[in-house]
Amino acid sequence: MSTSVSGVDGGVFAAVDIGASSGRVMLGRVTPNAGAALETVHRFPNGVVEHDGGLRWDFDALYAEVLEGLRAAATVAAVQGETIASIGIDTWAVDYGLVDEAGKLVAQPFSYRDDRSRTAVDTVHGTLDPARLYQTTGLQFLQFNTIYQLAAEQDLDGLQALLIPDLIAFLLTGVRRTEATNASTTGLFDAVAGEWATEFFAALGLRKDLFPPLIQPGEAYGDLLPDVAAAVGLPTETTVVAVGSHDTASAVAAVPAGDEAFAYISSGTWSLVGLELKHPVLTEASREANFTNERGVDGTIRYLRNVGGLWLLSECQRTWAGEGFQPDLAALLAAAAALPAGGPQINADDPDFIAPDNMPGRIRAAVRRAGADLGDDPAAITRCIMDSLAAGYARTITAAERLADRPVEVVHVVGGGSQNALLCQLTANATGKPVIAGPVEATALGNVLVQARAAGAATGGLPHLREIVAAGTTLRRFEPLVSVHQGYVQ
């Protein structure tokens, strides 16, 4: 049985925060009246690799970087005379590693960007009607959802599936658990009951114990294994605490909202756009609109859609760099902002943009299919991406308001995209609502604050945690700008 972490005086908190393109280990210090401060002690790249017949994560290298980051955290804390009270882990969702009874990872985990699960969709839907799936799980259809990945597996006998943050926690502690916010992205989780939908396991021929038991944010996996503690220079009594291990759950926990009705955009490699609700929306209209109901911290519902993200721009930059063109990002965005409004747009969350390789060419092709022309100018392609993302955000927020019957007064943008003034202004223009940008490190802040509350260094529910974020963050506000000709101006 998992328990909450006991109170601690003078401790700091280590946040392992890994996205689909990079990761970092940060130290967090929480002062309830003055905010939360973060210190980055280790950064490392992450990305998919072609390996063993598919696109996979180099998990061995990833875990080695986590250990290196924890060593750096231990060193920094010791120099400053501090104690690391606990460790929290968040990553992207849906992907998992398979371990055998001895706890050995049998293969490097597949990436959601691999195409293997596409062929399994019809297999799953032939057994479980999509409408029935949605009525239980409330999960947005994406071809890479865990349920389809598992249906593509050949042999699961004697194996257990651990979602990526739970796999890291297992290697650190020896304890197997599945954190609930990430479990809710699998397609095998009951959105109302907050438990595994065991009837779906049976229908698909999956063992009911394929995943370990659930654990909630704020509960403890356990203490570090002795060999791990020795390797990273931390005491064995250092506890690994479950946070919102789906990085979006941690990010939304750190949205610095007050009493206003808000929508959020967690803007990074992907954009997660939606509302925070008390209860899931499981209507047929919601399913047709492809909205998802995922768990948040404190049992909240993250009612959202995945929209394309800054992956589009980063992949364009990678292609341009390979061609010998490496523009400064600020200069590129400034050139894009100088272009007139009303240019061509794409559907930024089209599955055709999921895989890497030659993103500028694919964007130009999508524009041509829509009957327009974009050309080769990187500034024009960048502006197309920004306009398309802002338009996608606006459509999604409008749909969420209607489906959840909840009007929105303000839009909060957190994550890397909150630094992008062009994207924030275009989002305000497209939505017709004020946009509040920041914090950039929302995911790590949410991770740290859940740990701090578990340790007694912070108290109260999400409103109080958000007050701590707001107290320590410089926020930018963008008002919608209107033009007679285009509907908005720069």
Distance CA 445, CA 440 (A): 9
Rounded to whole angstroms, the Cα distance separating 377 from 368 reads: 15
Task: Give the DSSP letter of residue 448.
Answer: H
Eight-class DSSP state of 219: B
Instruction: Give the Cα separation of 167 and 19 in Å (integer).
Output: 15
Can the peptide bond before residue 463 be classed as cis, meaning omega within 30 degrees of 0?
Answer: no
CA distance 140 to 183: 14
> How many Å apart are CA 221 and CA 460, to the nearest integer?
22
How far apart, in whole angstroms, are the C-alpha atoms of residue 464 and residue 192? 25
Residue 110, helix vs strand vs coil: strand
Cβ neighbours of residue 169 under 8 Å, at least 6 residues apart?
Answer: 89, 175, 177, 221, 240, 242
Respond yes or no: is residue 247 known to be catalytic. yes
What residue has token string 């908005």?
Answer: 488
Q: Tokens in use for 169? A: 């926690």
Give the span between the Cα atoms of 17 and 265, in whole angstroms: 18
Distances (CA, A) of 434 to 126, 425, 477, 482: 45, 9, 7, 13
Among 90, 95, 190, 247, which one carries the catalytic annotation?
247
> What amino acid is encoded at 358 in this protein?
N
What is the spatial distance between Cα 145 and Cα 106, in angstroms, rounded to a whole number? 21
For residue 324, is it left (φ>0), alpha (ψ between -120 and 50) or beta? left
Provide the annotated active-site residues. 247
